[in-house]
Copies of this chain bind each other. A is one copy, B any other.
């Protein structure tokens, strides 16, 4: 295939900038980044080792970060990455660009929409699971908010961390409420309508 007018323009590699951005919070190793993403950002971001390590190498080659080796006793060496001024410039350029529209693929919701192909009981199973999960997440989010509030009372970053956690809370509450509405509307008439050919 020949590209004459345009070079193949992939949706940009946001992992690269995400990792760069996390290094402005604190210098981190690849392992730290993974942990941070899993523990703190999992509500709206994810990264796998398979991306993190190659990207850190690439960023170092571009002089957007510098690596410092921290030797440890009893544990493997840590390669801690620090963002450079050049890295901050690159990051700033990305931060100011309009965000890529989110490509959402929420299997649970799609399956629920197609619930007409199942019995009501079958359709409710994943929603019960979702409800439990979201109620559990509610605790974790509240703890996170308390931690942020206690940590850095007046820092510039504080507001952004707090408000991001707040978004998580609001979405969490919305999902819990939805589950309750589903239970209220779908439970009562328990006619096991396993009708398939509905046209």
**Chain A positions near chain B (C-beta within 8 angstroms):** 14, 18, 21, 24-25, 41, 43-46, 88, 91-92, 94-96, 98-100, 102-118, 122-123, 126, 129, 155-157, 159-161, 163-164, 166-167, 170-171, 173-175, 177-178, 181-182, 185-186, 193, 195-196, 198
Evaluate contact between B193 and A166: CB separation under 8 angstroms: no
Known contacts: A21-B110, A44-B110, A112-B163. The answer to whether A105 contacts B14 by CB under 8 A is: yes
Evaluate contact between B95 and A100: CB separation under 8 angstroms: no
Evaluate contact between A109 and B182: CB separation under 8 angstroms: no
So how many copies of this chain end up in the complex? 2
5 A-B residue pairs with CB within 8 Å: A14-B110, A18-B110, A43-B104, A45-B104, A92-B117
A44 contact set on B, CB distance < 8 A: 104-106, 109-110
Evaluate contact between A193 and B156: CB separation under 8 angstroms: yes
Chain B's closest residue to A114 (CB) is: B21
Known contacts: A114-B95, A170-B177, A174-B170. The answer to whether A45 contacts B163 by CB under 8 A is: no
Distance A111 CA – B185 CA, assembled complex (angstroms): 38
Evaluate contact between A107 and B111: CB separation under 8 angstroms: no
Evaluate contact between B46 and A160: CB separation under 8 angstroms: no
A100 contact set on B, CB distance < 8 A: 107
Chain B's closest residue to A47 (CB) is: B105
Evaluate contact between A164 and B14: CB separation under 8 angstroms: no
Chain B's closest residue to A101 (CB) is: B107
Evaluate contact between B21 and A109: CB separation under 8 angstroms: no
Known contacts: A157-B116, A171-B171. The answer to whether A105 contacts B102 by CB under 8 A is: yes
Evaluate contact between A24 and B117: CB separation under 8 angstroms: yes
